[in-house]
């Protein structure tokens, strides 16, 4: 009875099982980043539309009725941005409401300390209409400013809104780029885990086969 060989094989089994689960965890990490990216795309689409409307609003000959109609759609769009930022989640974990800025930890190895942290800095995205959230709140404020200017004087307010929108769009681009990099790391981790699982499983099989051969000889 090769007790030492059995102990080694048992430790290998624990590693294989741990790495198999870690690969599943990393796949969950990919799904989470894809979910966040999808919601960011929705935010981006709304911001792009608001920017288009701001360009239209910058045309001073627009009458009050025209501008009111433009501002109404802008307000609906920025409210939708706020809704998406507040509600985006993966399996109950909020993604864009600011809480993920502290980091979401994914266990990507069989042993302690082998983790990947997903950090989504959404501080510029949250609470577009409630007085906080930096960049997005600035967009909401500029929309309000545009609605209040006198007829024939909308250009300056619209230009200020366009500037804020460009800053907001840059923040969304930065967040999406970060998520893409995180997803790439998860994909690399999964490849490495699968290679390690295959190699360790083969080594374990050789030990178990050797033990069996010893027992029957």
Note the pLDDT of residue 130.
46
Domain that holds residue 102: 3-216
CA–CA dist 116, 172 (Å, integer): 22
Note the pLDDT of residue 116.
94
Note the pLDDT of residue 21.
98
Q: What is the DSSP string of 47-112?
A: HHHHHHHHHHHT-TT--HHHHHHHHHHHHHHHHHHHHHHHH-EETTEESSSSGGGG-EEEE-SSST
Single out the residue of 164, 166, 149, 163 nearest to residue 62, CA to CA: 149
Q: Looking at residue 122, what DSSP letter applies?
A: -
How many domains is the chain partitioned into structurally?
A: 1
**What angle do the packed helices 135-148 and 154-216 form, to 10 degrees?**
160
Q: What is the dihedral of CA 151, 155, 157, 159, to 10 degrees?
A: 160
Note the pLDDT of residue 132.
45
Note the pLDDT of residue 47.
95
Own/partner contacts of 58-64, CB < 8 Å, gap of 24 or more, are 58/154, 58/155, 58/158, 58/159, 58/162, 59/154, 59/155, 60/152, 60/153, 60/154, 60/155, 61/152, 62/154, 63/151, 64/151
pLDDT along the chain (217 residues), means of 10: 82 96 98 96 96 93 88 94 92 90 93 92 61 66 87 85 91 92 97 97 86 56
> Is the separation of the CB atoms in 138 and 163 below 8 Å?
no
- Whole-model pTM? 0.85
CATH of the domain at 149: 1.20.1330.10
């Amino acid at each position: 009875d090769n007790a030492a060989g059995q102990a080694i094989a048992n430790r290998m089994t624990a590693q294989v099982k741990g790495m198999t689960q870690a690969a599943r965890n990393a796949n969950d990490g990919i799904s989470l980043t894809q979910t966040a990216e999808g919601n960011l795309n929705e935010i981006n689409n709304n911001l792009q539309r608001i920017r288009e409307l701001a360009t239209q609003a910058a045309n001073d000959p627009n009458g009050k009725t025209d501008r009111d109609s433009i501002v109404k759609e802008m307000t609906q769009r920025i409210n939708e941005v706020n809704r998406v930022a507040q509600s985006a989640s993966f399996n109950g974990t909020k993604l864009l409401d600011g809480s993920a800025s502290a980091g979401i930890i994914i266990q990507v190895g069989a042993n302690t300390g082998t983790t990947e942290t997903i950090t989504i800095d959404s501080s510029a995205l949250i609470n577009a209409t409630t007085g906080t959230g930096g960049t997005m709140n600035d967009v909401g404020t500029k929309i309000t400013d545009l609605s209040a200017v006198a007829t024939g004087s909308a250009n300056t307010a619209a230009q200020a809104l366009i500037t804020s929108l460009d800053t907001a769009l840059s923040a969304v681009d930065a967040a999406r780029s970060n998520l893409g990099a995180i997803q790439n790391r998860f994909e690399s981790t999964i490849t490495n885990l699968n290679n390690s699982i295959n190699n360790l499983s083969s080594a374990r099989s050789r030990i178990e086969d050797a033990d069996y051969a010893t027992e029957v000889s």
